[in-house]
């Protein structure tokens, strides 16, 4: 039985909640930050054994310092609400001061650094800025890059992943992605927890030896390289593509159709249909996706990270898109008031 404590933030999010369920079940203690105890997920977490809820804002530096005191491990997934970069740096500084032994940050690439003329996605480049700060700070760290959530699909009129129910009973998904270019997929609720738990068990040394990063500038340009690494000397830094299936939109619709037992079609469109109010900044993210993946067909994680071999090496019991469509999608749809499955 481990006595280690894991720090999480934004703990009612899909990634953090998945990890909390996994690690608390095998005896890790969790110190889980939440902005508020309100909500179904927050109430669930509060009822779990080995979980201590820390309620408050990440802009409270005293709260942030206290989060890491006496802890050994951290899984950090910042969000675009508030000053994300300032919060990300504050968290990393506090973790460094507390002597965190393994800091896992959920990051994403900045495609503009690869020299291909690709634009940066604003919500991803912010994460990449924080990642670079963590790297320069010298924390023993691992960076996970998550694939597209299976859980994004809904028949509600949300942009990009709406599975719209048609009059003929079929679902139709419209998006800017090339129909035959593979994309990485992840069931965040089911699979982030077990995969990140295994990274913690392996420790930063193993993954540093497997894939690591060399800098070509002190700020914003790094890429994996093949020089021999001395893994006896910290910090240990690596990036892992966390996605368990690599499926084109066309292939995904075939599997989704098997799951829901009705036709599912993909229609490529040059622009993303926005029919509902969306948060500030998300429109710019969607416009960037149209260009980066719709016009450039850029690799989702950039040219250096590949899926799904690394993720499968961490966790083989993943929930694929067909199982998600069969077992989970109808339940989520029912919770949203839909009745098509009846």
Would the pLDDT of 42 be above 80? yes
Whole-number percent of the chain with pLDDT over 90: 86
Question: Can you name the residues that pair with 5 across neighbouring β-strands?
Answer: 29
Residue 168, token pair as written in the block: 């003929």
Per-residue confidence (pLDDT) for residue 280, from 0 to 100: 81
Q: Are 129 and 107 in contact (CB under 8 A)?
A: no
Give the model confidence (pLDDT) of 288-336 as tens digits: 999 999 999 999 999 988 899 999 999 999 999 999 999 999 999 999 9
Please give the Cα distance from 124 to 147 (Å, whole number): 12
User: Where is average pLDDT lowest: 76-90, 208-222, 224-238, 269-283?
Assistant: 208-222
Q: Are 81 and 59 in contact (CB under 8 A)?
A: no
Question: Please, is 186 exposed, middle or buried when counting C-beta atoms within 10 Å of its C-beta (0-12, 13-18, 19+)?
Answer: buried
What's the pLDDT band for 231 if we cut at 50, 70, 90? very low
In degrees and rounded to multiples of 5, residue 204 shows phi and psi of -70, -25
What's the pLDDT band for 1 if we cut at 50, 70, 90? low
Per-residue confidence (pLDDT) for residue 143, from 0 to 100: 95
pTM for this entry: 0.92
Would the pLDDT of 337 be above 70? yes
Question: Can you name the residues that pair with 105 across neighbouring β-strands?
Answer: 76, 143
Per-residue confidence (pLDDT) for residue 205, from 0 to 100: 80
Please give the Cα distance from 109 to 101 (Å, whole number): 24
- Quick one: DSSP state of residue 106? E
What value does the mean pLDDT of the chain take?
91
- Quick one: DSSP state of residue 166? P
Give the model confidence (pLDDT) of 193-222 as tens digits: 999 999 999 998 876 544 433 333 333 444
Give the model confidence (pLDDT) of 159-190 as tens digits: 999 999 999 999 999 999 999 999 999 999 99
Per-residue confidence (pLDDT) for residue 210, from 0 to 100: 46
Per-residue confidence (pLDDT) for residue 81, from 0 to 100: 86
Q: Are 195 and 221 in contact (CB under 8 A)?
A: no
Give the model confidence (pLDDT) of 60-117 as tens digits: 999 999 999 999 999 999 999 889 999 999 999 999 999 999 999 999 999 999 999 9
Q: Are 173 and 161 in contact (CB under 8 A)?
A: yes
Please give the Cα distance from 5 to 28 (Å, whole number): 6
| Neighbouring C-alpha atoms within 13 Å toward the C-beta of 294 | 18
What's the pLDDT band for 276 if we cut at 50, 70, 90? very high
Question: Please, is 199 exposed, middle or buried when counting C-beta atoms within 10 Å of its C-beta (0-12, 13-18, 19+)?
Answer: buried
């Amino acid at each position: 039985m481990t006595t280690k404590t894991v720090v999480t933030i934004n703990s009612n999010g899909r990634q953090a909640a998945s990890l909390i369920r996994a690690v608390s079940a095998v005896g890790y203690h969790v110190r889980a930050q939440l902005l508020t105890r309100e909500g179904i997920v927050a109430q669930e977490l509060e009822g779990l054994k080995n979980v201590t809820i820390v309620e408050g804002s990440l802009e409270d530096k005293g709260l942030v310092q206290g989060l890491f005191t006496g802890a050994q491990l951290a899984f950090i997934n910042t969000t675009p609400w508030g000053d994300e970069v300032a919060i990300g740096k504050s968290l990393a500084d506090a973790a460094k001061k507390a002597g965190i032994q393994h800091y896992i940050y959920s990051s994403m690439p900045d495609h503009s650094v690869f020299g291909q003329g690709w634009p940066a996605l604003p919500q991803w480049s912010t994460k990449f800025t924080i990642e670079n700060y963590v790297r320069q700070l010298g924390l023993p760290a691992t960076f996970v890059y998550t694939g597209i959530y299976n859980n994004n699909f809904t028949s509600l009129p949300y942009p990009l992943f709406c599975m719209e129910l048609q009059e003929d009973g079929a679902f139709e998904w419209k998006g800017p992605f090339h129909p035959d270019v593979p994309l990485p997929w992840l069931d965040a609720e089911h699979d982030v927890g077990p995969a990140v738990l295994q990274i913690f068990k392996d420790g930063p040394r193993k993954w540093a030896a497997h894939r690591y990063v060399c800098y070509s500038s002190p700020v914003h340009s790094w890429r994996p390289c093949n020089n021999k690494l001395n893994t006896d000397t910290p910090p240990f830094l690596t990036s892992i593509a966390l996605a368990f299936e690599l499926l084109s939109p066309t292939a995904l619709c075939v599997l989704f159709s098997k799951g829901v037992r009705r036709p599912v079609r993909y229609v490529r469109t040059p622009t993303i249909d926005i029919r509902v109010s969306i948060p500030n900044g998300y429109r710019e993210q969607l416009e960037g996706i149209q260009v980066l993946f719709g016009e450039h067909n850029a690799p989702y994680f950039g040219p250096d990270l590949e899926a799904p071999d690394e993720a499968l090496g961490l966790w083989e019991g993943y929930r694929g898109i067909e199982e998600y469509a069969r077992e989970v999608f109808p339940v989520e749809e029912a919770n949203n008031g839909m009745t098509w499955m009846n």
